[in-house]
């Protein structure tokens, strides 16, 4: 069974429009999927007809101990005036403030980059992020490639790095739950400490993204065991942003039994 409960469009930091992403899902043979743009549900206003089944989704950026933790939400009302609307608006505002500070620091270090250059890369995206800054730097010929931008400038210790100050994971979990959705922790293999999964499970987390392209087999086994021990449902997602970084573009193959509990909650 090919599914994908983690993907992005140009409404946040993806490279494909909503229509093109849906086309990619169909070509890959994805039977059920979610679009989980960062802090935006605009894609659900643009959905074209599709043979695949769709579960509403979102990826909410949160901060804990000065580091990023991403909470996915599924099966909620995606209308812009819904329960999640204010939470997402607050996060988008925090994103804009963070980008402004990044640009100030980069200019102070000699990189002639403006907010207009970043906005051009965002191409109408509701949710500005570091990838937009990186693309602007590369397009202006100020840095060789995006990987270099992140490694040397925008990651922790870099001159343009600015810690995120989003809402807490607990607040995001509660906001998703209040909207009638299912809160899931994204890509746990990227966490700096595994204990965070246990802490969030005590705070209302319902699911864990066990099946993820960057997880090693040992990580997948580890998080499968943790999900079972904590009573969390398991999900699977490609985290698609750009075909250059996602070898299979979209979709991830799973045993239907592994995600049955999740599907029973959202379908």
Q: List, in order of start, the domains of the chain with CATH numbers.
A: 2-83+168-266 (3.20.20.140), 88-154 (1.10.150.650)
Helix ranges, the chain (H): 18-28, 85-108, 115-122, 130-139, 146-149, 169-178, 195-202, 217-230, 256-266
Question: Edge to edge, what strands does the sheet with 67-74 contain?
Answer: 57-64, 67-74, 182-185, 207-211, 233-236
∠ CA(256), CA(33), CA(1), 5° rounding?
Answer: 25
Give me the phi and psi of 192, to 5 degrees please: -80, -20
pLDDT digit of tens for each residue in the chain (267 aa)?
999 999 999 999 898 999 999 999 999 999 999 999 999 999 999 999 999 999 999 999 998 887 889 999 999 988 777 778 888 888 888 889 999 999 999 999 999 999 999 999 987 787 888 989 999 999 999 999 999 999 999 998 999 999 887 899 999 999 999 999 999 999 999 998 999 999 999 999 999 999 999 999 999 999 999 999 999 999 999 999 988 777 668 999 999 999 999 999 999
> Helix, strand, or coil here: 109?
coil
Give residues with Cβ within 8 angstroms of 266, minimum separation 6: 55, 74, 75, 182
Rounded Cα distance, 10 and 207, in Å: 26
């Amino acid at each position: 069974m090919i599914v994908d409960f983690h993907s992005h469009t140009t409404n946040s930091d993806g490279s494909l429009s909503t229509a093109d992403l849906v086309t990619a899902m169909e070509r890959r043979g994805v039977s059920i999927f979610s679009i989980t743009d960062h802090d935006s549900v605009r894609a659900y206003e643009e959905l074209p007809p599709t043979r695949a089944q769709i579960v509403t989704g979102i990826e909410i950026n949160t901060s804990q101990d000065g580091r990023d933790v991403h909470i996915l939400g599924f099966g909620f009302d995606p209308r812009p005036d819904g329960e999640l609307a204010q939470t997402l608006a607050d996060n988008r505002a925090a994103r804009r403030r963070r980008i402004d500070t990044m640009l100030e620091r980069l200019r102070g270090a000699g990189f002639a980059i403006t907010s207009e250059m970043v906005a051009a890369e965002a191409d109408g995206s509701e949710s500005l992020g570091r990838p937009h800054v990186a693309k602007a730097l590369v397009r202006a010929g100020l840095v060789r490639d995006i990987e270099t931008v992140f490694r040397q400038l925008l990651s922790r210790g870099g001159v343009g790095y600015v810690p995120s100050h989003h809402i807490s994971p607990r607040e995001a979990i509660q906001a998703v739950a209040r909207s009638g959705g299912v809160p899931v922790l994204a890509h746990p293999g990227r966490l700096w400490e595994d204990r965070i999964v246990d802490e969030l499970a005590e705070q209302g987390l319902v699911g864990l993204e066990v099946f993820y392209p960057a997880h090693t087999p040992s990580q997948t086994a580890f998080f499968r065991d943790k999900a079972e021990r904590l009573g969390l449902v398991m999900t699977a997602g490609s985290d698609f942003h750009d075909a250059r970084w996602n070898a299979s573009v979209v979709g991830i193959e799973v045993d239907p039994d592994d995600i049955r509990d999740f599907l029973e909650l959202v379908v």
